[in-house]
Chain A
Amino acid sequence: MESSYKLLGDYIRPVDIRNKDLKISNLLGVSIGKCFIPSIANTVGTDFSNYKIVKQGQFAYGPVTSRNGEKISIALLKGEDCIISSSYTVFEVTRKEELDPEYLMLWFSRPEFDRYARYRSHGSVREIFDWDEMCAVELPVLNIEKQRKIVKAYKTISDRIALKQRLNDNLEATAQAIFQERFASFYSYDDLPAGYSIVNLDSLCTIKGGKRLPTDCELLDTPTEHPYIRVRDVGNSRYICLTNQFQYIDEYTHSAISRYTVDTNDIVISIVGTIGLLGKVHHSLDKANLTENCVKLTDVHTITPDYLYYTLCYKKQIKEIELLTVGAVQAKLPMYNIQSMKILVPPAGIMDKFQMDMEVFNTQIEANTIEIQRLYDLQNLLLAKLSD
């Protein structure tokens, strides 16, 4: 490694203060998303006096890195002081004027650091990244001003992502409100006005399932021509678009399941596990492969894909989609229930007017979604750039 690289051990020291007088009750844990999260452990009868106290500005990490999604759980506490399980190691930066803690956290946030931590972890059942290994980490310790600048740049991008996200949430809510104002009441009519009808979903589009990976085929992390849409890729925003979280399949696997792909503007619904997640396929995922845990609604006619999307969101909001599920161990939304879902078809003129009114919402939400993705790319690039 390069000469600006310094040993982390020279800048940090372990901290071990126990919650002896039970002063703190804020119990947190550290996630693989590298942040503190509320603990979900069953704490009935737990003695919290042996828990470790983490103060604001200190770090905590879980030394066991095996069976942890190939990641190390490590985070910097930004909120108020908390307690965590004593299995975590807590430490702090001693020379804060030379190494900025937030800059250090950026270094830990790199996917390459996960790989490094896994590589240097050792043991049989539990593979451990111990304190000595943490101290042996080498990182570029730049001039402190430069570090702070990088942190600030990163934060500016994060803020913009959050802003765009909030903007999108609001736009989505507004659009939904407009849809409901115009159409929701028709579902309670006994006699529909002329020109309106309620029909089964399968008379408006083709509904098709996705496909499981063939035995012995696996998902790849390195991009190929064929992204594979999983349930976790659906429902984050209206548009399902290509992100760096995607996994791929190779040409050979693709040839086996090539009939199960999606086209731009298809609507995808998750049917197993987390049910009823909805998304519209962005053109960056045209011809991507679809998991067996989702169905796609394609060849939409008579109504527009956007109208259909809003209708499904409404159905989800009134819990109709959840009600349609069956399954004992794992809930499942059967194909038949999707096919027979009742959809209001308004007269063509009203449909066109709605589509036009919604156009600006649709484009803006799409643009924001894409910008958010690009901003994430930019952040990742900034992180990678730290090694330079």
Chain B
Amino acid sequence: MTARTARGAAAATVAAVLITGVAACSQPAGSGGSGAADSAVVGIATEPETLSPLLGYGKDGNSKIFDGLLAHDAGMKLKPALAQALPEVSADGRTYTYRLRPGVKFSDGAPFSAKDVVFTYRTILDPTTNNASRTELDAVENVEAKGEDTVVFTLKYPYAPFAERTVLPIAPEHIAGKQDVNSGEFTTKPVGTGPYVLTGWSKGEKLNFRANPGYWGGEAAVKKFTMAVIKDDDVRATRLRAGELDAAILPPNFAKALSDQHSAKDKARRTYAAKTFDYRNVTLPTHNEVTGDPAVRQALDIAVDRTAMVEGLLEGAGKPAYGPVPTDSPWFTPGTERAHDLERAKRILDDAGWKPGGDGIRVKDGVRAAFPLWYTSGDKIRQDHALAFASDARKAGIEVRTEAGTWEVIEPRMKTEAVLAGGGSPADPDFDQYLLLKSSLGGDGFNNMAWYDNQAVDRALDEGRQSGDATARKAAYDTVQRELVKNPGYVFLTHIDHLYVVNDKWDGLTTQVEPHDHGLGSGPWWNVESWKPKQK
């Protein structure tokens, strides 16, 4: 080695040290914060804009900071929370009376009472409050306190699922009532009655919680609870693998990769697949001359291979969907499953006069059986579903052109062009079916995107909404599902499982049936307050 190359090598070494030295002089980070058994760190994908229930946070129940009058158990059955018992409903279905649990305190020590409930509901119903979900309380005519411990709701019309709406969190009047409801400090520094108290929110990074020692349900065993906000799926999987997270929500391929690795460290992980009402469907707009034809709708509905989609796109983590109600729900109507039957689809189209043209695409009265299908750009699962749908439709002689766009691009076209949509709400069949199928809501915002119009369905929806009788309600929603077989307004493709990978450190983990939205309370940590450290 000449002196010259030796000096060169030395210089290169110096340079390398210079670059990596910055890294070397910091102490090892250790196992992050996830060592202790009384603390849990979970990785979530989306962050709420606000933590104020008055602006819509936690409206579907299960907020860690707040309680509603009622709450859901693991099976999504209603149970009392801030109320002592389920409400008393008057015979005409228009008056709901709640008796409140005595001795409950907000985490700042102030007592909870009926006036906080009245304040919460009245504020949400106030049009100057920027709460985009106010429509959900449309049925409420009045809410008032009868003394300290009783609240009475009067409805404009009988609304059977109303009790499901009262899981929404109750805000303290003595704090939230003294500031601007839309931008006050309460929107980011909430105070509630729930099992956890927010101790810090570093926006874009994490939310820190501590067990509320004065919680009426008893203090939680997991004392410190952290939600790390990590938007990117790759990064979330990586940080879980690096040991910085105890649990995370992951897309199917990542969850599979993590559970397939059997290193010593990875063995202590479990995958939880939460059953959901989260569907993906294709709207069939009535105002399009192709998708508006009942024969085309019916043909498409059986031309799609749902099972292949579940296996191919979701790695098996999901179910074929035949309507908004998943097949394992008690609200599902057995017998409405449709098998993949390409030959019958072709026959239906032939019989209706859609004859194959020169390029294999069918034509009827000079109209080509072709329509565009929009999906939201950047959403891989929707894109995959759209492409699979288009490929299945092509086999039946219908051309579906898939196009990507943002909602701003898609919305003005929804009346005549198909959209790969998603939704789902497990609490009550009324919640999404009414908005999805009621003819009078056609084109009202994002409600009834396909402008579905079926009088039998309209009548059944009203019956299901107003009847207080469980059997009558079941019959009504059976009618809806049977009508959707005869005249589909949407092709329902799949119900998607939500996957969570969790370190195996606790007992008592379950998942709830989950909606389309990923709230903070979704996932195995929906009941983190009742987790117990595993006995070694």
Q: Do A and B come from one complex?
A: no
